Amino acid sequence: MSGPASFDDMTAEEHLACAVDISAWTYLVADGKLPEEREMLSQAVLAVAWHHNAYAVPQSKGEQYDLVNRKRDELLAGDRADAIAARARICIEAALAKSEAK
């Protein structure tokens, strides 16, 4: 994603990518590879759930939870921490904007 997108305008694949990015970012923070940002961490829980559900609920398959975990592990192995953090921030902002609009 190149910039903040409207949560409702995101595709299922964009929601999945956001769930993976946010999950990977939280792992990087927990491992001490990125600095802790308390406000963003508290918002990440809500944001990852919203993005994951926006992807998984329409699928109605039980594999989506494992899919996020597998993709997160792949992402952590192959992408830069700062790139993951930047995408996670955009995804969290999109989910929060959706939450505040309700």
User: If you average pLDDT over residues 43-59, what whole number do you get?
Assistant: 82
- Rg over alpha carbons for the chain, rounded to the nearest Å, is 13
Q: Which residues contact 44 (CB under 8 A, 6 or more apart)?
A: 22, 25, 26, 88, 92
pLDDT of 60: 58
Q: Which residues contact 70 (CB under 8 A, 6 or more apart)?
A: none
Q: Which residues contact 4 (CB under 8 A, 6 or more apart)?
A: 90, 93, 94, 97
Cα–Cα distance, 61 to 35 (Å, whole number): 35
**Is the pLDDT higher at 4 or at 27?**
27
Cα–Cα distance, 42 to 13 (Å, whole number): 24
**Is the pLDDT higher at 53 or at 10?**
10
Cα–Cα distance, 56 to 42 (Å, whole number): 22
Q: How confident is the model at residue 1 (pLDDT cuts 50, 70, 90)?
A: very low
pLDDT digits (tens, 9 = 90+) for 64-89: 667 888 899 999 999 999 999 999 99
pTM score, two decimals?
0.70
